[in-house]
Structure 1
């Protein structure tokens, strides 16, 4: 187990004081997070905290594989699940900048199966009562989860049950590729008229298919050529590699009796086969802290990286403003269910949650912070006001098990003293 209060950017070591952090207060972060491992709730974790583009704090603690007694290391590979979504959203907006579509375009223009959507009104999963949708799903509705789609794992509505009955709960039916899955979702009813409410859903997977249609490339190929290659994200992929046997962290869930992290290979091993069929733009990637830190640094710099630019800064500004109906927050317009953020004081842009009101959020943060997380309790955020980026990696499913993300906020911001 290792823990360091200083980190190296290239060959240069950055003193946290130079970046506005009190080193003793930074140690509070690791002291607190170690308790999650020492009492068995987490297998291990890795944290990277950067400001002004320089790494102020990088620490690791615990195991990537408890049973094999393997520590978390700098090259440990993590399943990032829904932290795939912002990458897919960036890919979509790269094509937008090339004039490939307009945000108000109906999705059916590019994926015809979405032409005549129906909305659930009453009845059960076997005999639902439906009505025609009042308007079409637009591309922007996919980006901000107001399309009316869902996830089968929500377990709160008949619509979710319909998804599960078709084999869509925590994954996709065997042999289904992205195109087939998207057409299946288009054949199932919407929860509400597009653009009227917020429901966390497979919408970003549909975006992945849109990227394929518009670019003429597989989603994996587009990511490799247009995002991962330019940013040097060499360990981020949909596809299992032999090297993952040595570097991939095991996946854990909490034991319902003890709360301790318990290995779950049924979910963990799915990565080795799923990418061959289903390129999930909503949750299919694995990555490392270094790789995802490069993606976050590009976002912090307004779409720029050392070798060029992925997005224009005005585009990124547009993506990270609240786009929910009536400029409401998720508490007002979101359907109350699991998501990777709290609802109070938080809106949603085109691919990211956006802090609107830190006081309502109830957590130390800044207006304009944009973020998301993954089902295995991974998380990232970018705070433009403080010029701060945070990447947190672990492997505990589901992410709602512990309030690690809000705890990280209070611990990180208390260490800022400039």
Structure 2
């Protein structure tokens, strides 16, 4: 099933005496960076018994309102590991096996699947409107029958074949080398023929669909970008959220929405009191949501200009709901991939519980010690990681310069296998980490009794943020954090 590494917490972990000054300087520098200036962010870090929790910059450039530590952040893909955690709670009840077929729980997935292949001479074609260029593309493709079943472990490891269209967009935009060019566009266009609301990068959680309807649309379309088992980052955790709804109803005899199950099994026990998926019109937390920004890539290709996200797309692109989806509109699609919104302080309670071996502050055990090891260090077998997309994400296992792979909703370093091989990197041999669309970042170090959350709101879907954001925010912040360890 998985390979486990024992977690040995170091309670003697400390910060360097000058850690506050060093971290302040680094994060203030992100606000003034020439390539990509971050409007504002909140940082929360822990090492041993010491904490660092500060806000930098502004929450809105027009008003000049200062960023505050209680800001509500769109966590987007940092939701994935939370979904895997909830699934593992049900797994420990014996409700499913990680090798189970997804079709065992979702009837619409009990079907043969087609893998779509980009092909100039393909027997089929479909129109797709690019959110990067505003152009309508006529894409030729052909289909191949999938030979592999989709398993629960594929949902947790984002290797289900249900890929976001974003990577195909940038594969074409940047000249190739990221993924199976156009396959994600074709698959998404086929799903949108069944329901135009189903998904797009300018409408990540704003679809006027329930989770059940969203997942069944994927099943009815019946198309994948690759065989299950190959890293194909996308809607795996969304489908996992629907599996969780079904398992909950089967075991409890009552149905609940995914957000309600997440609240019952994670948010409430940990006192994550402000964590949510959607907020009502009159919810006071709405006023604490920062403006969502993006970045336009300048013609020189080496700098970018920060604008509100909706201003970063070309004329003719129908901007949808990323800015407002959590607090207006239908508020129906509860995505286990991208749906949560909360303060950095609330998210840190999840990391605190992991460091405490699965026990909440009030002494309630949420997950067994072995379950915590699985979440933090477990690695699935029989995944195909030697692919361009896995390499682009740095999760190609032994095929990455620093061996990591994506398991249980986040990337996990491969422990003793993490020889650097002469490659300069800020990665750590005992780290789990992942980020979100808005360049939020979470770094978790079980054996170091340490973690750090870095929370801007700068959309990776926009060209300037895609070009510079990860290296600027993730990589340099990771290095700065490691530099203050004593």
What's the TM-score bracket when you normalise by the shorter of the two chains?
0.7 to 0.9
SS in 1 for 2:327: helix
Which residue of 2 is the match for residue 315 of structure 1? 371
The Cα of 1:310 is off from its aligned counterpart by 1.6
Task: Say if 1:182 and 1:209, in contact at 8 Å, map to a contact too.
Answer: yes
Greater RCO (Cα-Cα under 8 Å, separation 6 or more): 2
Which residue of 2 is the match for residue 178 of structure 1? 211
Which residue of 2 is the match for residue 7 of structure 1? none
Is there any run of 5+ residues in structure 1 with no aligned partner, and where? 1-17
Is there any run of 5+ residues in structure 2 with no aligned partner, and where? 1-11, 127-139, 172-180, 250-255, 311-320
Which residue of 2 is the match for residue 349 of structure 1? 407
1:205-220 aligned at under 5 Å gives the runs 205-216=238-249, 217-220=256-259
Which residue of 1 is the match for residue 228 of structure 2? 194
Which residue of 2 is the match for residue 66 of structure 1? 61
| Residues 120-129 or 136-145, more deviating | 120-129
The Cα of 1:244 is off from its aligned counterpart by 2.9
- Structure 1 consecutive aligned stretches of length 4 or more whose deviation exceeds 4 Å: 324-328, 336-343
| Residues 335-344 or 207-216, more deviating | 335-344
The Cα of 1:113 is off from its aligned counterpart by 1.2
SS in 2 for 1:371: strand
Which residue of 2 is the match for residue 50 of structure 1? 46
- How many correspondences in the alignment? 396
Which residue of 2 is the match for residue 359 of structure 1? 420
Alpha-carbon distance in structure 2 between the residues aligned to 1:415 and 1:371: 18
SS in 1 for 2:428: coil
Task: Say if 2:226 and 2:232, in contact at 8 Å, map to a contact too.
Answer: no
Alpha-carbon distance change, 107 to 47 in structure 1, aligned in 2, over 3 angstroms: same
Alpha-carbon distance change, 51 to 230 in structure 1, aligned in 2, over 3 angstroms: same
Deviations 1:274-325 (A, max 9, x none): 6621001110111101100101111222322122122112122123335355
Alpha-carbon distance in structure 1 between the residues aligned to 2:20 and 2:143: 54
1:33-48 aligned at under 5 Å gives the runs 33-39=27-33, 41-48=37-44
Counterpart of 1:145 (choices 128, 133, 158) is: 158
Deviations 1:109-142 (A, max 9, x none): 1001111222235535536432332121110111
Alpha-carbon distance in structure 1 between the residues aligned to 2:231 and 2:476: 25
Alpha-carbon distance change, 413 to 372 in structure 1, aligned in 2, over 3 angstroms: same
Task: Say if 1:340 and 1:374, in contact at 8 Å, map to a contact too.
Answer: no
Alpha-carbon distance in structure 2 between the residues aligned to 1:319 and 1:56: 24
Alpha-carbon distance in structure 2 between the residues aligned to 1:102 and 1:180: 24
Deviations 1:344-382 (A, max 9, x none): 422122222012226267423432311111111101121
Alpha-carbon distance change, 154 to 102 in structure 1, aligned in 2, over 3 angstroms: same
Which residue of 1 is the match for residue 343 of structure 2? 288
TM-score by length of 1: 0.87
Alpha-carbon distance change, 295 to 94 in structure 1, aligned in 2, over 3 angstroms: same
The Cα of 1:32 is off from its aligned counterpart by 2.0
Which residue of 1 is the match for residue 483 of structure 2? 414
The Cα of 1:338 is off from its aligned counterpart by 6.3
1:390-401 aligned at under 5 Å gives the runs 390-398=452-460, 400=466, 401=468
Alpha-carbon distance in structure 1 between the residues aligned to 2:208 and 2:445: 40
Mapped pair 1:107 → 2:168: no
Alpha-carbon distance in structure 1 between the residues aligned to 2:270 and 2:346: 8
Counterpart of 1:261 (choices 306, 329, 340) is: 306
SS in 2 for 1:249: coil
Deviations 1:132-156 (A, max 9, x none): 3212111011101121220122224
The Cα of 1:271 is off from its aligned counterpart by 2.2
| Residues 290-299 or 313-322, more deviating | 313-322
The Cα of 1:56 is off from its aligned counterpart by 2.7
